[in-house]
Amino acid sequence: MTQPLTAGRPAPGGDDAETVDGLIKKARSAMAVFANADQARVDEAVTALAWSIYRPDHARALAETAVSDTGLGNVADKTAKNRRKTFGTLRDLLGVKTVGVIEEDARLGIVKYAKPVGVVGAVVPATNPAATPVNKAMMAVKGRNAIVLAPSPAGFNTTALTAGHMRAELDRIALPADLVQVLPAPVTKALTQALMEACDLIVVTGSQNNVRNAYRSGTPAIGVGTGNVPVIIDSSADLTDAATKICASKTFDNATSCSSENSVTIIDDVYDAAIGALEDAGGYLATAEEKRLIEDTLWVDGRLNRTLIAKGADVFARQVGLSEEARKARFFMVEDDGAGPDHPFSGEKLSLVLTVYRAAGFDAAVARVREILRYQGIGHSVGIHTADMDHARRLAEGLDVVRVLVNQAHAFGNGGSFDNGLDFTLSMGCGTWAGNSISENLNYRHFINVTHLVTVIPENKPTEEELFGAYWARYGK
């Protein structure tokens, strides 16, 4: 059987390039064995990876290890995330073809064949050290690729255990365990960089430093952008529904998700009622003095205080020194009136703090959201709670974001949901607005190359008049 914590580990003393070279060679050997797998066998492998974390005992134990090692989030929600994200991704993957002919278009005379991209290097964040590795491994193996995981130092134990479970499940179905490997401890920046330079595709979820390093590596790379989700509560919103969803999303896994709501802009005519609904849902509206206390504690020398991020509401309130009433809340609201460096609450907070803005009307709300995104989170997403789809369409048409979610809880909807059409993922592309190469949720299509078989079709050549006629008629030749 495979060993969880030493999978792919080289003999001590090798330098970073040698360490990575050994892993890459094992990955390529595993791919060679897997190369002729048919679609059914590939789907069996993907299902095996999914089961390795979906198993209730594994999902819970990995969540416990993650919280113990990183101090981020909570066990119940991480357990749910390990299972829900994996289940949804498996649903998506089992319904598509990635082996042999995947598409035929007789009209165009084109037949498309799927091919592997090669060895995938996957950088994993501390916020999701179990769910993200499995999510990426399932997509990579769906394309008949191998994957090498680069954990965050804080999340190493969880990611290594996760990789061990995946390897054991592959071994169980008589497939090469080396389709999934993990960098050995200690995982350093240099070791991760060596992987980036040696693999065939690098996929990065996590810090923007890692994303930029991946783009500079010379290897084709897919990175994600910074989250800082702003949400509008419109005049026509169902306030109770909106508040319930915002609370559920904001508090899930103690706001570790990049899709968690960071601010809510409320139209003036429903402002007081919306605040009341948010309070009923579990929110606490901080006083001006409490806002100052939160700011002074949440940021230290301009950086988020690691002892407060992704902590439970009781821990947060106690460390900040909030009132007894506040300590009973599920999340904390602070009112603000601007965005940018002079308004730290307008940025991503990775904590149970929700910034609240008042807007005179919908146009003012859109302007506020645009201001927030320009400061941080451009490209990622926005949300709106409304009964007016024209307002939702205006956001989609006018804002530089990849996703606009309507009447949804962001942390549950942005990365795919059973009641929306987005692909299940833990990596959200944010387009060129955020310096990303993709403007969609990471999915299996990013893990296959496509060969096009092209045959002759009846000529499709229009006349000059058909192409230029309208232009000539208006402007002349």
Strand partners, 333: 285, 354
- Residue 150 shares a structural domain with residue 111: yes
Single-letter amino acid code for the residue at 21: D
In a domain, 466, yes or no: no
- Residue 200 shares a structural domain with residue 284: no
Strand partners, 435: none
Sheet holding 229-233, edge to edge: 283-285, 331-335, 353-359, 261-267, 229-233, 379-385, 401-406
Task: Quote the number of domains for the chain.
Answer: 2
pLDDT of residue 5: 43
In a domain, 448, yes or no: yes
Instruction: Report the alpha-carbon distance of residue 78 to residue 62 in Å, rounded.
Output: 8
- Residue 88 shares a structural domain with residue 58: yes
What's the pTM? 0.93
- Residue 219 shares a structural domain with residue 248: no
Three-state DSSP class for residue 283: strand
CB 204 within 8 A of CB 222: yes
In a domain, 6, yes or no: no
- Residue 358 shares a structural domain with residue 274: yes
Instruction: Report the alpha-carbon distance of residue 106 to residue 29 in Å, rounded.
Output: 37
- Residue 169 shares a structural domain with residue 44: yes
Instruction: Report the alpha-carbon distance of residue 164 to residue 157 in Å, rounded.
Output: 10
Radius of gyration (C-alpha) of the chain in whole angstroms? 24
Out of 199, 247, 258, 430, pick the active-site residue. 258
Tell me the CA distances in angstroms from 23 to 4, 323, 373, one per residue in order.
Answer: 15, 53, 40
pLDDT tens digit at each of 477 positions of the chain: 444 444 444 433 359 999 999 999 999 999 999 999 999 999 999 999 999 999 999 999 999 999 999 999 999 999 999 999 999 999 999 989 999 999 999 999 999 999 999 999 999 999 999 999 999 999 999 999 999 999 999 999 999 999 999 999 999 999 999 999 999 999 999 999 999 999 999 999 988 889 999 999 999 999 999 999 999 999 999 999 999 999 999 999 999 999 999 999 999 999 999 999 999 999 999 999 999 999 999 999 989 999 999 999 999 999 999 999 999 999 999 999 999 999 999 999 999 999 999 999 999 999 999 999 999 999 999 999 999 999 999 999 999 999 999 999 999 999 999 999 999 999 999 999 999 999 999 999 999 999 999 999 999 999 999 999 999 999 999
In a domain, 151, yes or no: yes
pLDDT, mean over the chain: 95
Strand partners, 125: none
Instruction: Report the alpha-carbon distance of residue 445 to residue 112 in Å, rounded.
Output: 13
**Cβ count within 10 A of residue 303:** 8
Structure tokens at 13: 């003393």
In a domain, 380, yes or no: yes
In a domain, 420, yes or no: no
Instruction: Report the alpha-carbon distance of residue 164 to residue 170 in Å, rounded.
Output: 10
- φ and ψ at residue 423, rounded to 5 degrees: -65, 140
199 belongs to the catalytic site = no
- Residue 209 shares a structural domain with residue 275: no
Structure tokens at 51: 């089961």
- Residue 202 shares a structural domain with residue 239: no
Host domain of residue 104 = 16-224+442-452
CATH number reported for the structural domain that contains residue 151 in this entry: 3.40.605.10
CATH number reported for the structural domain that contains residue 376 in this entry: 3.40.309.10
- Residue 209 shares a structural domain with residue 239: no
pLDDT of residue 206: 83
- Residue 245 shares a structural domain with residue 390: yes
Closest among 377, 288, 368 to 334, alpha carbons compared: 288
- Residue 330 shares a structural domain with residue 254: yes
